[in-house]
Amino acid sequence: MITGRRLGLFGGTFDPVHIGHLAAAEAVRDALRLDEVWLLASHVPPHRPQPAASVHHRFAMVALAVQDRSALRASDFELLAAGPSYTSATLSRLHAAGWGPSQLFFIAGADAFAEIATWRDYPHFLDAAHFVVVNRGGRSPDPAAAAAAAAGRRVRALRQGMSSDVEDGQTPAVFLVDHATPDVSSTTIRDRASRGLPVAGMVPRPVERHIRRHGLYVPGDGTPVEPLTASLLHEQEHH
């Protein structure tokens, strides 16, 4: 049994990961005093179209984005599991690995959380971890909607600059983290990259270089693209 640690779980396609994702992860880490936040690139996202970039490139971009952020970690936990990346299955595997429900904090954007009733095994997985709803682009999550979606579970709102102590063994709850994050979307980044427009300032610089170097999101024109290898990723991490 793992003891004395609190783990944030931030899942997504990360196609690509951007500064809004990183800001949200760090806001939750600070508000709930988490030891670490894992960014979980999904293998097969169950609720959205398949990503444009390969799983290898998406994981590489997350690794590059967090390399200088000590409390954030690129995790392949979902990539190693076969089939769709269901939240309930991920949490069950973490329990089997020794994590208790009160130690896990599953992070979701307000837009995704609004559809939580459509997720597999709802509402049973709400007992498997705390859930953290964070706004994006300066839009605050709606506490009433969040409470309704969470089937009447206790909801705690944390404004920007606030932090909360969570007791070990506390019954899983839903936390609303009101912290404005950059209004950036992966869809916009992909569109700009596909048209040869810069994405500087929307993604970390190493991620920008990775997108450009590998020609990600550019419509195929027959031009060879340098393949991703472990040695090349290592080289990029040090430039």
The fraction of the chain above a pLDDT of 70, given in percent, is 78
Res 176: pLDDT:
85
What are the extents of the domains in the chain?
Answer: 7-178
Residue 70 half-sphere exposure toward CB, CA atoms < 13 A: 2
Residue range 7-178 forms a domain whose CATH class is: alpha beta
| Tokens 């990600």 sit on residue | 216
Going by C-alpha positions, the residue among 220, 239, 191 that lies closest to residue 15 is 191
Going by C-alpha positions, the residue among 182, 180, 136, 142 that lies closest to residue 161 is 180
* CA separation for the pair 101, 94 (Å, rounded): 9
- Least confident span in 12-26, 87-101, 158-172, 221-235: 221-235
Does the pLDDT at position 128 exceed 60? yes
Report which of residues 151 and 44 the model is more confident about. Answer: 44
pTM across the whole model:
0.85
- How far, rounded to the nearest angstrom, does the alpha carbon of residue 186 sit from its chain's CA centroid? 12
Task: Read off the tokens for 181.
Answer: 């994050």
Does the pLDDT at position 233 exceed 50? no
Res 228: pLDDT:
44
- For the chain, give the mean pLDDT: 83
